[in-house]
Structure 1
Amino acid sequence: MSPDKSVFPDPVYRDTVLAPLFDGVKQHYAGSMAAINQAHLLMLARTGILEGQSVQAIAQALRAIDNEVNVADLNYTGEYEDYFFLVESQLKKRLGPDMGGMLHTARSRNDMDHTVFKMVLRERCDQLEAQCLQLAGVIHEKALLERDTLIVAYTHGQPAQPSTFGHYLSAVLEVLLADITRLQQARKALDLCPMGAAAITTSGFPIDRDCMADLLGFTAPKRNSYGCIASVDYVTGLYSAIKLIFVHLGRVIQDMAFWSAFEVGQLYVPNSLVQISSIMPQKRNPVPIEHMRHLSSLTAGRCDMIVNTMHNTPFTDMNDSEGEVQSAGYAAFDSGTRVVDLLSAFMASVSINEVRVASNADAACITITELADSLVRQEALSFRQAHEIAAATANTVIAEGLALQQGFAAFSEAFKTETSRASQLSEEQFMQAVSLRNFVTVRDRFGGPAPAAMDEALGHYGTQMAELLEVATDSQTRLAAATQRRGDAFDALLEV
């Protein structure tokens, strides 16, 4: 076998893998890598692993690299394998090969990589969480305003019962707050720092992992060093939580499409969110709904892509969870935040067409359940007997094209046929029993649409939102404080 005279990197490998990875670092990770370099140097100094002039010289070189190397202008040439080695080459250029390599004492690209990925995901997760909390606030405010606004609630695509827009929005809010809670739970995994795991098994040097975690804004080190470089549950857990947000919002968006359809028409979308056909000027197309729907599906699909990439991969350090995969996942944040922003504007702007609600309710006899319930309470009938009378009444008024409130004669006949006696309900009592407002008012049980039940629910959701916001604010405060501490401490190294 002849000697291998090939030289790394092969041009095809350079162009198809290494250059795109380098571009990904330029776009997403260079700042976090600089923060890790500062924190690691501070930790090495505080533990005595590096001392005196070496520490100050490395600090000065790092500052010079930050000031003199314009990351955005760098192009991958293959001279250095990746951005990490480019920075190390810059240190050696300024400090010499021996001192220039000291910074990498007691660490590896393995623990650095996953720390960088977590730092970037923290920022993107926090932004998405903030926007979801803003959407929750919009929905909560809208639910307060629309607490008593009547709607037709649909099941199986058919008119079912009356409710209120506030009650519907409260259900949406309840799921969204649960989704934000799941997102915050997934976010906790991003707060455990991999630094100090080194390649796999930590280090023989007396490193301080708590110090590194603190300087980088993590709550604590991730305990198991093997897991620091092998466990990608911080990725799969996060994207699973994000997917659920957009699966659930997509269902609401589909309702908005259905409600605003010409044949239903109970949701009015203002002109600012309507596009007119290029050839049919009478058409009002609420096109933003379609964009929110497909962007929600796109976001959920992008989340699946990242989770599925981890499927059947080995439980160890691997490129399948790094570099390009991490960068690809950010597209889910990009499309997802667009949905949330647009939905916030949309929900704040739409209104209920009360005329269409009333006409649809009349056409479908959606209060007929309350007529049956009233007969059970006031006429001492079994529910099945009452249901038969209500069904016969509904069949008659629908056949005759009447509103249910015009069906007292049909009701009286049905009641007599079923019970062989006259009903004790007056026409006024009948009309009250089948009115939309009465239907909602009497459903004052816990979780129902009646005003008192709604007031209790909206108060609870307000408290829950405040608690979630406090958690999010605490995370932001911790990160900002860590950045300040690290910056001050690093500046102090330069002044020694």
Structure 2
Amino acid sequence: MKEKLWAGRFSKASNQIADDFNSSIHVDSRMYRQDITGSLAHAAMLTAQGILAQQDYEQIVSGLEGILQDLDSGVLTIDPQAEDIHMFVEAELTQRIGDAGKRLHTARSRNDQVALDLRLYLRDAVREIRIQLDHLIAAVLEQAKANTDAIMPGYTHLQRAQPVTFAHHLLAYAMMFTRDVARLSDAVKRMNLCPLGSCALAGTTYDTDRMLTAKTLGFDGITLNSIDGVSDRDFCVELLSAMSVIMMHLSRFSEEIVLWSSWEFKFVELDDSFTTGSSIMPQKKNPDMAELVRGKTGRVYGDLMGTLTMLKGLPLAYNKDMQEDKEAIFDAVDTVHHCLEVFVPMVESMTALKDNMYAAAQKGFINATDLADYLVKQGMPFRSAYKIVGQLVAKCIREGRVLEDLPLEEYRALSPLFGPELYQTIDLHTCVEKRISAGGTGMASVQVQIDYITHFLAQEESKE
């Protein structure tokens, strides 16, 4: 086993059980590219400041680039016995180029190094999740555009409430996902400060140029307090929070897909390739992908709560507890990525069953509010209109009829304000189309929403 880079202080080797418990290589090895990228920038800064000789710099660059190439190609594998990815890379570099490799760690610590690697890794991860969210928004948009004429019952309390279009309902999720993109963007703004150069906690006696390192690595600036630079994990908490909200939105959508694809609703048909069958019941077509997304939401919530709990009692600055941040944040990133990976094509291939939606909308008296509004426009106070329509609904329920079936004389028995035009008023297409308020389910409003999402996606594409 290679000697530990911090072994000078100790007179005996650490216990193997303690080594295994302390090691994070099985988690942080995925950051090898970010670790090497950060080291290249650090070496360039040291050289520019005259701290590192040009010859040593050239050897370090050649060595690091070789390690990166070998790791990418699989020629080199990461030693599972290494304590962490930082020490693995440094040990491998020193083995390849000798003493020059030992000079790389000048004016930095693993404390600021891991803080840098994590920010770089998460910045890249957020970019990928944003692209996936854009693809999901695009899939929802296409479904909405194809279903602007599909009338379905809108629900409150999971009870049929008022008629809406399927497009309008879907666009509610599109709006949620645009906010998710905005939250990710905001999280990156606060994440995108470079901690490298904070060293262990107090900075360094070397004349470093932290802004040069930050600029090289694409950061907006540097962390202004070195203690905060190594101990801050707010960016992890904020990103975990944003990802928890993404999962909450996916879970709500999943729940509706589960309901819509059941025989009780039958509003949508999921493509066979995104469903499973039963080992004993041959008729079953289960929405397992949606159910799994719904289930995995709790996993991401747990990652958020675990990180908050880990951080809540820590004194400044770095503590080993903070090694636990990566397992949680990486699990959340992976979970969100995999859920979006399956969710996008599931939505793209989903078929809306418009006739079933319309049939359901015809039941449940979801045009009752429109009937009350009709009386109000004839001059009746809303509360009086509300009571009369409630009486009509109760009558229909007792007699097994719907509002459209009642003859005009039965309406006029309760109010002379009813006229023959009421039947057009309570037609479902009329109920939908006359909701002209901004954000409503009327065709013009839905088109505004479609245009908004289309513009949003165009702006997102321009940022890539």
What is the TM-score when the length of structure 1 is the normalising length?
Answer: 0.84
1:344 corresponding residue in structure 2: 344
Cα 1:434–1:89 shift into 2, 3 Å: closer
2:79 corresponding residue in structure 1: 74
2:274 corresponding residue in structure 1: 273
2:331 corresponding residue in structure 1: 331
Cα 1:272–1:430 shift into 2, 3 Å: farther
Cα 1:353–1:54 shift into 2, 3 Å: closer
Cα 1:386–1:183 shift into 2, 3 Å: same
> Mean alpha-carbon deviation: is it higher for 306-315 or for 54-63?
54-63
Q: Tell me the distance in 2 between the aligned counterparts of 1:5 and 1:116.
A: 28
Letter in 2 for 1:355: D
Letter in 1 for 2:396: V
Q: Tell me the distance in 1 between the aligned counterparts of 2:425 and 2:116.
A: 64
Q: Tell me the distance in 1 between the aligned counterparts of 2:195 and 2:268.
A: 50
2:33 corresponding residue in structure 1: 31
Q: What are the superposed Cα offsets for residues 337-356 of structure 1, whole Å, 9 maximum, x if unpaired?
A: 22212221222222333333
Matched, 1:258 2:250: no
Q: Tell me the distance in 1 between the aligned counterparts of 2:333 and 2:125.
A: 7
Q: Alignment partner of 1:151: what SS?
A: strand
Cα 1:467–1:300 shift into 2, 3 Å: farther
Q: Tell me the distance in 2 between the aligned counterparts of 1:384 and 1:126.
A: 52
2:426 corresponding residue in structure 1: 434
Q: Tell me the distance in 2 between the aligned counterparts of 1:54 and 1:276.
A: 62
1:464 corresponding residue in structure 2: 456
Q: What are the superposed Cα offsets for residues 373-395 of structure 1, whole Å, 9 maximum, x if unpaired?
A: 11211x32121222222112222
Letter in 2 for 1:332: A
Percent identity over the alignment is: 27
Deviation at 1:222, TM superposition (A): 2.1
2:3 corresponding residue in structure 1: none
Q: Tell me the distance in 1 between the aligned counterparts of 2:10 and 2:124.
A: 45
Matched, 1:402 2:401: yes
Q: Tell me the distance in 2 between the aligned counterparts of 1:291 and 1:85.
A: 38
1:363 corresponding residue in structure 2: 363
Letter in 1 for 2:204: S
Cα 1:228–1:400 shift into 2, 3 Å: same
1:54 corresponding residue in structure 2: 56
2:17 corresponding residue in structure 1: 12
2:4 corresponding residue in structure 1: none
Which residues of structure 1 form unaligned runs of 5+? 474-496
Deviation at 1:216, TM superposition (A): 2.0
1:389 corresponding residue in structure 2: 388
Q: Tell me the distance in 1 between the aligned counterparts of 2:403 and 2:115.
A: 65
What is the TM-score when the length of structure 2 is the normalising length?
Answer: 0.90
1:288 corresponding residue in structure 2: 289
> Mean alpha-carbon deviation: is it higher for 150-159 or for 285-294?
285-294
Q: Alignment partner of 1:201: what SS?
A: coil
Letter in 1 for 2:77: A
Q: Tell me the distance in 1 between the aligned counterparts of 2:16 and 2:251.
A: 45
Which residues of structure 2 form unaligned runs of 5+? 1-8
Matched, 1:298 2:308: no
2:134 corresponding residue in structure 1: 133
Q: Tell me the distance in 1 between the aligned counterparts of 2:385 and 2:255.
A: 35
> Mean alpha-carbon deviation: is it higher for 251-260 or for 461-470?
461-470
1:22 corresponding residue in structure 2: 25
Q: Tell me the distance in 1 between the aligned counterparts of 2:16 and 2:274.
A: 50
Cα 1:284–1:399 shift into 2, 3 Å: farther
Q: Tell me the distance in 2 between the aligned counterparts of 1:193 and 1:164.
A: 48
Q: What are the superposed Cα offsets for residues 451-486 of structure 1, whole Å, 9 maximum, x if unpaired?
A: 111111221222233334444x2xxxxxxxxxxxxx
Deviation at 1:173, TM superposition (A): 1.0
1:483 corresponding residue in structure 2: none
Cα 1:71–1:121 shift into 2, 3 Å: farther
Equivalence map 1:136-285=2 (5 Å): 136-285=137-286
Q: Alignment partner of 1:308: what SS?
A: helix
Cα 1:66–1:149 shift into 2, 3 Å: closer
**Bigger RCO (CA 8 Å, 6+ sep):** 1
Q: Quick check: 1:135–1:341 contact (8 Å CA) kept in 2? A: no
2:375 corresponding residue in structure 1: 375
